[in-house]
Chain A
Amino acid sequence: MKADAQESQSLVLIVDDEPFIRMILRHFLEREGYQIAEAQNGIEAIKVFKQLHPDIVLLDALMPDMDGFECCTQLQNFDCSKYTPVLMVTGLEDQESVDRAFEVGAMDYVTKPVHWAVLRQRVKRLIQQSQLQQKLEAVNVELQRLVTIDGLTQVANRRRFEEYFNQEWQRMKRDKNPLSLILCDVDFFKLYNDTYGHRVGDRCLQEIAKAIKDIIKRPGDLVARYGGEEFAMILPNTDTEGATHVADNICHAVRTLAIPHKNSQVSPYVTLSAGFTTEIPQPDSDLEEMISAADRALYQAKAAGRDRFVQNIQLPKNKNSC
Chain B
Amino acid sequence: MAFVELIECYLTETPKLVQDMSAAITTQDTQTIWKTAHQLKSSSASVGAIALAQLCKVLEAQGCSSKLENSLELISQLYQEYEQVKTALQKELVKEVP
Asked if A113 contacts B6 (CB within 8 A), the reply is: no
The stretch of B42-50, B78-86, B87-95 in contact with A is B42-50
Asked if B42 contacts A23 (CB within 8 A), the reply is: no
Instruction: Give the docked Cα–Cα distance between A24 and B43 (Å).
Output: 9
Residues of B within 8 A of A24 (CB): 6, 46
Residues of B within 8 A of A200 (CB): none
Instruction: Give the docked Cα–Cα distance between A62 and B33 (Å).
Output: 13
Does residue A19 face the partner (Cβ distance < 8 Å to B)? yes
Asked if A18 contacts B5 (CB within 8 A), the reply is: no
Size of chain B's interface in residues, with CB distance under 8 A?
16
Residues of A within 8 A of B6 (CB): 20, 23-24, 27
Contact among A21, A27, A64 with B42 in the assembled complex (CB-CB below 8 Å): A21
Does residue B29 face the partner (Cβ distance < 8 Å to A)? no
Asked if A20 contacts B2 (CB within 8 A), the reply is: no
Does residue B77 face the partner (Cβ distance < 8 Å to A)? no
The verdict on A113 contacting B46 (CB below 8 Å), with A17-B39, A18-B39, A62-B35 known, is yes
Asked if B9 contacts A23 (CB within 8 A), the reply is: yes
Instruction: Give the docked Cα–Cα distance between A120 and B74 (Å).
Output: 36
Residues of A within 8 A of B14 (CB): 20
Instruction: Give the docked Cα–Cα distance between A20 and B35 (Å).
Output: 15
Min CB distance, B86 to chain A, in Å? 14
Instruction: Give the docked Cα–Cα distance between A24 and B5 (Å).
Output: 9
Asked if A91 contacts B42 (CB within 8 A), the reply is: yes
Residues of B within 8 A of A18 (CB): 13, 39, 42-43
Would you list the 7 A-B pairs with minimal beta carbon distance, nearest first? A112-B42, A113-B45, A91-B42, A20-B43, A113-B46, A27-B2, A20-B9
State the A residues within 8 Å of B (CB): 17-21, 23-24, 27, 62, 64, 90-92, 112-114
State the B residues within 8 Å of A (CB): 2, 5-6, 9-10, 13-14, 35, 38-39, 41-43, 45-46, 53
A-B contact pairs, 6 of them (CB 8 A): A19-B9, A20-B13, A21-B42, A21-B43, A112-B42, A113-B46
